[in-house]
A = this chain, B = another copy of it.
Amino acid sequence: MTELRVHNFSISLDGYGAGPSQDPGNPLGVGGELLHEWLFPPSGQRTEADERFMALGAEGVGATIMGRNMFGPVRGNWPDESWTGWWGEDPPFHHDVFVLTHHPRPPVQMAGGTVFHFVTDGIEAALDHARAAAGGRHVRLGGGASTVQQYLRAGLVDELHVVVVPVLLGSGERLFEDLGVALDGWGCVEFTPSATVSHVRLRRL
């Protein structure tokens, strides 16, 4: 059975998955880029553990789902077709990506095999589309926090891999909030610290 998995979801020590005030210059909100320094270290050299977890985020994955805020800073109706994500002409997905939105838009074909599809009929429909597109491989669930929370509350997530980054953001979007009993019975199946962050894999126990 293929799984729906969250990989490499970075949160600050104070619990935020993104800083406040996302805009085109701050995809992860103000200060949020600190959450991804472990992925793009100033030294250019990832640690072995970080490298392994980064690779796991693509291994056996055939489709991705993400919230609209992970796709871009545009809110409300799409004013035009000009916004095509944060990732340039050749995004790092190389497969079908399903963007949750209330505002329809035709698919966007990018270089390297990434196609952005805009899903307006809810998270379960998006998962159905993604599973079909993944062709027997796993579906990766991207961010932001509220998208992950929706899937967790619906009981649809198989694995949640969180990266705790020892920085303080002070405010922003918490990952572990408004989850009710969604994570009852879940626990840590792997704790692997690297030199700069802690990786925690959570699953139903």
Contacts and interface: CB of A to CB of B under 8 A. Distances in A.
Interface of A: 13-15, 162, 164, 166-168, 170, 174, 176, 179, 181, 183-184, 186-188, 191, 193-194, 196, 198, 200, 202
A35 to B, nearest CB: 13
Copy total for this chain: 2
A168 B181 contact: no
B166 A191 contact: yes
A170 B183 contact: yes
Contact of A187 (B15, B168, B191): B168
Secondary structure at chain A's binding surface: helix, strand, loop or mixed?
Answer: loop
A166 B198 contact: yes
Contact of A198 (B164, B167, B183): B164
Given A15-B15, A176-B13, A202 B170 contact: no
Given A15-B15, A176-B14, A188 B167 contact: yes
30 contacts: A13-B162, A13-B164, A13-B188, A13-B200, A13-B202, A14-B15, A14-B176, A14-B183, A15-B174, A15-B176, A164-B164, A164-B198, A166-B191, A166-B198, A166-B200, A167-B187, A168-B176, A168-B183, A168-B186, A168-B187, A168-B188, A168-B202, A170-B179, A170-B181, A170-B183, A170-B184, A191-B196, A193-B194, A193-B198, A198-B198
Contacts of A187: 167-168
Given A15-B15, A176-B15, A200-B13, A166 B184 contact: no
Contacts of A176: 13-15, 168
